[in-house]
Structure 1
Amino acid sequence: MIQKAVENLEKFGATRGGAASRVAAVAARYFGGLVLRPDKEHLERAYSILRSIYNMLRKSNVEVGLLPDEPYSGALLYELGFVEDFASYAAEVYKYFEERGVRRVITVDPHTQYVLERIYPQYVPGFDLDVRSYLEYIDVSRVKVKISGFAIHDSCLYARFLGKYDLVRRILAGGNPVEDPYVTGRETSGCCGGPAESINPQLATKIALGRAKKLAGLSRTVVSACPICLANLSRTGIVEVRDLAEVVEL
């Protein structure tokens, strides 16, 4: 959906303001379901990534339930500064989990992990869910990495704020990733440009191009554990980006 949204924002010049923005806003409200419908191949890839994560959890003896109508975390509302909207939305999401007796949430991306673990407790009174990343359940000793000689692009949230930098490397160590203290360092690696793509796709593209060029200096194949990073860097056409769950198995 991110890919489709950015394509249309760029096509109609909606981020430049004025009449184009107003028309785009109305169109998104009434035709968003059609305009933002992902391509079949992108949907299949997303499902494949989720199936891989689910299978790794099951092989790690983790019993996990799936909620077919689970609401979005609201991460983008917070990241774009709609704090009041986020606060009311987060309260509804927490209520949803409470009513279904959920005590632990296993996340599959850094933005959901960060907003549930670090931000919800600040805005939702009594928030007490145990929030874990699926990465924490992977048995590193059993991991098989299906490719080699790739570069790692770290999610800023995983690497700098959620303490997953070393964990990602332990999981991917069998693939002999190409490292550079500046390009892939914990504090020095660059951003993919997201989620700015939803308000300024031109800026996001510029940042993504710069990041992709630096990664390409290490390897044309890049592995990331964030869907927003995957989407942004893939749009550059400079590197092939794979999700971590696509390249490892137990």
Structure 2
Amino acid sequence: MYHLAPVIEKAVENLEKFGVTRGGLRSRLAGVVARAAGQLLVRPDESEIQRADEVVKKIYGLLKRRGVRIRLLEREVYSGALLYELGLEKDFAEYAQRVARFFKEAGVREIVTVDPHTHYILEKVYPRYVPDFDFKVLSYMDLIDSGGVAVKNFAIHDSCLYARFLGRYDVVRKILSAGEPVEHPYYTGRDTSGCCGGPIESLFPDVARKVAQIRVRDLAKLSRDVVVQCPICYVNLKRASNGEVRLYYLPEVLL
């Protein structure tokens, strides 16, 4: 998901530029252009690709430091989270079956996830669509510890999935406690913190941006430094921030 996020960002940028989401003739013509020049239009910024590389390497290093032994597959497979979250249920069901077969053929028994969307889909949703999906799903956050935090007095933007549906709200705060995050009963509360606007940015980028702008405004009241746990959150808050806040992925700030 970290590497998919820069592609999503570039795709949404061009959807807005060419008016694909506005409907009518202009939208249809823009759609033709987008399909014809798809690879060029969604080519992400090299700096964001490098950042994604470094974040995943950092997670691997944190796991290795704790003595967690993991194998990396020669070919990474996508969970299909966005298919499910955007309502393409039939496509998701077929795709999930293929992913499960891939894991079984690769001899996988346990899966360590690095983002909330992948974790939620694999742990909570796959068992409903793949009857024999018996893999143990772990979050990297449950397996690491913090040797310190590189920034101080930052605000935490919680992933809705981690905080409300996966029970990781307190885990995040334990990991980041040394950085003395600035908390607020409403803006960073478990059940009251605002959404980033995703993952509907590819369908309704204008709506996603408005939601993200509200969230950026609220976070900026607490700190200019904001730590996020989700690549989708990162993309939407970045698009809306206009430099108002500095965004960090959680692994980036850990020592």
Cα deviation digits, residues 163-201 of structure 1 (max 9, x gap):
000000000000000000000000000000001101011
- Alignment size in residue pairs: 247
Residue among 229, 235, 239 paired with 1:231: 235
- The residue number in structure 1 matching 2:56 is 50
Q: Distance in 2 between matches of 1:138 and 1:24?
A: 46
Q: Distance in 1 between matches of 2:219 and 2:133?
A: 39
Distance 1:145 1:84, change over 3 A: same
Q: Distance in 1 between matches of 2:85 and 2:104?
A: 24
Q: Distance in 2 between matches of 1:20 and 1:97?
A: 43
TM-score (ref. length: structure 2) = 0.94
- The residue number in structure 2 matching 1:11 is 17
Cα deviation digits, residues 207-239 of structure 1 (max 9, x gap):
000000000000011001101111111112221
- The residue number in structure 2 matching 1:143 is 147
Q: Distance in 2 between matches of 1:29 and 1:103?
A: 38
SS in 2 for 1:179: coil
Matches for 1:26-105 after TM superposition, within 5 Å:
26-105=32-111
Residue among 179, 185, 199 paired with 1:181: 185
Q: CA deviation at 1:21?
A: 3.3
Q: Does structure 1 residue 111 correspond to structure 2 residue 85?
A: no
The residue type equivalent to 1:21 in the other structure is S
Aligned-pair identity in percent equals: 57
SS in 2 for 1:159: helix
SS in 2 for 1:38: coil
The residue type equivalent to 2:60 in the other structure is Y
Unpaired runs of at least 5, structure 2: 1-6
Distance 1:103 1:28, change over 3 A: farther
Q: CA deviation at 1:65?
A: 1.3
Please tell me whether the aligned partners of residues 143 and 171 of structure 1 are also in contact (alpha carbons under 8 angstroms). no
TM-score (ref. length: structure 1) = 0.96
Q: Distance in 1 between matches of 2:59 and 2:79?
A: 19
SS in 2 for 1:105: strand
Q: CA deviation at 1:24?
A: 3.8
Cα RMSD for the two superposed structures? 1.1
Q: CA deviation at 1:62?
A: 0.9
Q: CA deviation at 1:6?
A: 1.1
Unpaired runs of at least 5, structure 1: none
Q: Distance in 2 between matches of 1:122 and 1:25?
A: 34
